[in-house]
Amino acid sequence: MICKIADLLVDVPEDDGLAVRCAPYRWEAAQSVRPQITIQTSQYHPEMYPGLSGEMVAYIESGRLFHRMLPQYQGMMLHASAVAVEGGAYLFSAACGVGKSTHTKLWKQMLGDRAVILNDDKPTLRLLDHTWYAYGTPWCGKDGINENMRAELAGICFLKQAAENRIRRLSPQEALFHLLEQTMHGLHRTAVDRILSFLPDMIDRVPMFLLENKPEIAAAELSYKTMRGEWEKQ
C-alpha cells in the first residue's frame, strides 16, 4: 500500500489495521512510483510487546521503522501534540501524562475552527527548501487524532506542570536538551547522527519555549499570545 506521508512515498503493509489507519494518506498514483521508504513486517519485533494485540504491535513497529528512516530525508518525529493555526504549526511536547493533548484541546476550545490538531502524539518535522514543516501522520496516539496536512513549524513549547502559568524562551542549549529527550528513543546511531546534524538549523529558525502551567484556558491564552507573537516577528 503506497501512501504519501510527510511528502514522502511510503510503502506500508496493509495488515493488522494499518490499511484503515493509513487510508487518508493512500496515494492514488501508486502504480507508477517507487517508494522512498518501505516498511516491512519482517523487521517487526513483536517479542518486545508481550500481551499486546497484533494490531497494536503493527502500529508501534511501523511507526518505529518510519521514524528510523526519516532522518535521511531531513526529518524526525517529536513526541508532541501539534495544532495548526492560520498557516503555523505549534507543538507541545513533554513526557506522557504531563498534558500535551490537554493543551492543544484548550487551544481548540479557545480558537474554535481556526485551530486544527495535526497530530496528537508524534508529528513529523521536515526541513524542505530552508523551511521547517510539521505534518500529520497515521502514528498519532491512542485517540487517532490526525490530519493529512502540513503547516510551517511556528514554535515548539515544552510543558511542565506548575502552580502558576509562566512561559520563557529557551536558550539553544536548553532547546537541544529538550528536543533530544523527546525524539531519540529507539533510533540507531546513524539516524541519531543525522538528526544531530540538522537540529541546530531547527533551533536557529524555530522559537522554542518552556511553559510552566496549570491545565486551564489562561495557560493556553499565554502560550498562544507568546508563540504567535514570536513567529510573527520572524
Higher pLDDT, 186 or 94: 94
Give the per-residue pLDDT at 84.
96
When computed from its CA atoms, the radius of gyration of the chain, rounded to whole angstroms, is 17
User: Which position has the grid cell 539553544?
Assistant: 172
- Final residue belonging to a domain, choices 73, 107, 127: 73
For the cut 70, the answer to whether the pLDDT of residue 163 exceeds it is yes
For the cut 70, the answer to whether the pLDDT of residue 137 exceeds it is yes
Residues 96 and 57 in one domain: no
The percentage of the chain sitting over the pLDDT mark of 90, rounded to a whole number, equals: 68
Give the per-residue pLDDT at 233.
73
Residues 144 and 228 in one domain: yes
Half-sphere exposure of 169 (CA within 13 A, CB side): 14
List the CATH number of the domain containing 231: 3.90.228.20
Give the per-residue pLDDT at 200.
94
Give the per-residue pLDDT at 99.
77
Task: Tell me the pairing of strands 208-213 and 150-161.
Answer: parallel
Angle between helices 100-111 and 217-233 (to 10 degrees): 80
CA 90 from chain centre, in angstroms, equals: 10
Residues 27 and 124 in one domain: no
Q: How many domains does the chain have?
A: 2
Give the per-residue pLDDT at 143.
80
Residues 102 and 191 in one domain: yes
Give the per-residue pLDDT at 189.
83
Give the per-residue pLDDT at 184.
65
Residues 42 and 101 in one domain: no
Residues 24 and 115 in one domain: no
Residues 174 and 226 in one domain: yes
- For 127-154, what is the mean pLDDT? 92
The residue type of 38 is T
> 134 lies in which domain range?
76-234
For the cut 70, the answer to whether the pLDDT of residue 12 exceeds it is yes
The answer to whether residues 160 and 178 touch, using CB atoms and an 8 Å cutoff, is: no
For the cut 70, the answer to whether the pLDDT of residue 30 exceeds it is no
Average pLDDT along the chain: 90
For the cut 70, the answer to whether the pLDDT of residue 31 exceeds it is no
Residues 24 and 82 in one domain: no
- Final residue belonging to a domain, choices 55, 73, 91: 73
DSSP class of residue 26 equals: B
Task: Tell me the pairing of strands 115-119 and 208-213.
Answer: unpaired
State pLDDT tens for residues 178-218: 998 888 676 788 888 899 999 999 999 999 999 998 889 99
- For 125-153, what is the mean pLDDT? 93
As to burial, measured by CB atoms within 10 angstroms (0-12 exposed, 13-18 middle, 19+ buried), residue 190 is exposed
For the cut 70, the answer to whether the pLDDT of residue 136 exceeds it is yes
Residues 2 and 68 in one domain: yes
Higher pLDDT, 194 or 94: 194
Residues 101 and 69 in one domain: no
- Nearest alpha carbon to residue 228 among 80, 79, 94, 86: 86
Residues 86 and 59 in one domain: no
Task: Give the C-alpha separation, 18 to 168, whole Å.
Answer: 40
